Amino acid sequence: MRTEISGKNVTLRRIQQSFVSEIFEAGLESRGGEFTRWMPWCHENYTVEETHSYASYCENCWESASEYNFAIFDNSDGKFAGTVSINQFNFQHRLVNLGYWIRVSKQNRGIAREAARLLARTAFEDLEINRVEILAALENIPSQKAAQRSGAKYEGILRKRVMIGDRVHDGVLFSFVREDFQN
Q: What is the pLDDT of residues 26-51, one digit of tens each?
A: 999 999 889 999 999 999 999 999 99
Q: How many CA atoms lie within 13 A of 6 on its CB side?
A: 3
What is the model's pLDDT at position 183? 72
* 35: three-class secondary structure by DSSP: helix
- Nearest 5 degrees, angle CA 122-CA 126-CA 130? 85
Section 134-141 average pLDDT: 97
Q: What confidence category does residue 2 fall into, taking pLDDT thresholds of 50, 70 and 90?
A: very high
Work out the widest C-alpha separation in the chain, in whole angstroms. 47
Section 101-119 average pLDDT: 97
pLDDT exceeding 90 applies to what percent of the chain?
97
The answer to whether residues 126 and 158 touch, using CB atoms and an 8 Å cutoff, is: no
Q: In what order do the strands lie in the sheet with 80-90?
A: 4-6, 10-14, 68-74, 80-90, 95-102, 131-137, 167-177, 153-164
Q: How far apart are CA 18 and CA 57, in angstroms?
A: 14
The answer to whether residues 70 and 13 touch, using CB atoms and an 8 Å cutoff, is: yes
Of 20-24, 37-41, 110-114, give the lowest mean pLDDT range.
Answer: 37-41
Q: How far apart are CA 102 and CA 29, in angstroms?
A: 11
CATH topology of domain 4-181: Aminopeptidase (3.40.630)
pTM of the predicted model as reported, rounded to 2 decimal places: 0.96
Listed in sequence order, the residues at least 6 apart from 106 whose beta carbon sits closer than 8 Å to its beta carbon are: 74, 79, 81, 82
What is the model's pLDDT at position 73? 98
pLDDT tops 90 at residue 119: yes
Q: Which amino acid is at 72?
A: I
Residues 73-96 pLDDT 10s: 999 999 999 999 999 999 999 999
What is the model's pLDDT at position 111? 98
Mean pLDDT of the chain: 97
